[in-house]
Amino acid sequence: MDPSGPWLLSDAAIVLKADRILWSGPMADLPPEHREAESRPLDGRLVTPALIDAHTHIVHAGHRAGEFEARLEGASYEEIARAGGGILSTVRATRAASEDDLVAQALPRVDALLAEGVGTLEVKSGYGLDHDTELRMLRAARRIGEERPVTVRTSFLGAHAVPPEFKGHPDAYLDEVCLPALRAAHSEGLVDAVDGFCEGIAFTPGQIARLFDEARALGLPVKLHAEQLSHLGGAQLAARHGALSADHLEYATDDDAKAMAASGTVATLLPGAFYTLKERQAPPVAAFRDQGVPMVVATDCNPGSSPLSSLLLAMNMACTLFGLTVQESWLGATAHAARALGLSDRGSIAPGQRADLALWDAESPAELVYRLGQRPLHARIHGGQWCRS
């Protein structure tokens, strides 16, 4: 599964050296110098790149099952948020949790992803909305990568919502809390990228631009929750700032797709939130295809709008709800997801790539996307090391 080569090979071989792929291709073409190397037969199993979940809020405390019930009774996401629920409900629980609590609550969700072949995971802050909790969340995210065989990339999402103590004063929150917390997290080595939520219930494009200017000053890449509930110009803003990705994008337009294509900004599709919120307007997949915008598929694992810890199910949803092909869903959870995280060393099976692989008891990639509720993972290889499922 190399996006620049054949989609699928039969009777193939992969040569690993330390944490890298040294060679891959048809068994018949295996170079003579590798024919006597120590080998491990895989008994005809399917081998793919390890999956990459490029958008999660997996570190948080508590749950929001009550809001699920409220939505079933007709309440909208915005109504719940404006009444003090939504993100702010999780903020209260997360502020009360210790770092150990956050790690302990996140690990079962992480383990569910690892059991489905995930080898790289993005984790956002954004449920603290104060200096100490934002940093505590990022420290917890870093610990996940120490306690489990998975690569963790962190995104600072201090501009996720305006906390109650700054209600009606978002610029003051940015000045007094968000931007100083970003600087502190960066100085502690806790941040790989900077994210924000550009929406009527969160921050305006102008406010997000201030955040992005600070990120640029710190040398950090940016990404953005954009055009999820309305069209505020977030996708265009992300493109102007050369963002790694713009995410959600239900209300994005053809012009947004053109701008993203020109800037190299990928489109991260989050069908779990679309499904949970019972949205009706799907992202403009045809426009992204026409403009050559790579499409990512991620879980958006979070306690409110996407309590989803199955990337395989997200891939199925992207196909059934958004019309992606099987191949597009696989690229969205591997090579394109790596690009959304600014990583060029993973996401495909090719020489020089990191040896992050998933071994499946399956015959084809389509089988993995088509089945619901099954975990046919046989084993993972993470950085050249075998990890049993």
Other Cβ atoms less than 10 A from the Cβ of 96: the count is 11
What's residue 389's pLDDT? 56
Residue 350 neighbours by CB distance under 10 Å: 18
User: pLDDT digit of tens for each residue in the chain (389 aa)?
Assistant: 555 556 789 999 999 999 999 999 999 999 999 998 899 999 999 999 999 999 999 999 999 998 888 888 888 878 888 787 888 889 999 999 999 999 999 999 999 999 999 999 999 999 999 999 999 999 999 999 999 999 999 999 999 999 999 999 999 999 999 999 999 999 999 999 999 999 999 999 999 999 999 999 999 999 999 999 999 999 999 999 999 999 999 999 999 999 999 999 999 999 999 999 999 999 999 999 999 999 999 999 999 999 999 999 999 999 999 999 999 999 999 999 999 999 999 999 999 999 999 999 999 999 999 999 988 999 999 999 999 75
How far is Cα 122 from Cα 8, in angstroms, rounded to an integer? 27
Given the DSSP bridges, would you call strands 377-382 and 357-360 parallel, antiparallel or unpaired? antiparallel
Give the per-residue pLDDT at 61: 98
pLDDT score for 344: 98
**Residues listed for the chain:** 389
Concatenated DSSP letters of 74-117: T--HHHHHHTT-THHHHHHHHHTS-HHHHHHHHHHHHHHHHTTT
- 238-267 burial, b for 16+ CB within 10 Å, e for fewer? bbbbebbbbbbbbbbeeebbbbbbebebbb
The per-residue pLDDT for 5 is 56
User: According to DSSP H, which parts of the chain are helical?
Assistant: 65-72, 77-82, 87-95, 99-114, 131-147, 170-173, 179-187, 205-218, 234-240, 254-263, 271-276, 285-291, 311-322, 326-332, 335-340, 365-370
Q: How far is CA 81 from its chain centroid?
A: 23
Q: Are 147 and 121 in contact (CB under 8 A)?
A: no
CB count within 10 Å of CB 384 equals: 15
Contact 48, 330 (CB under 8 A): yes
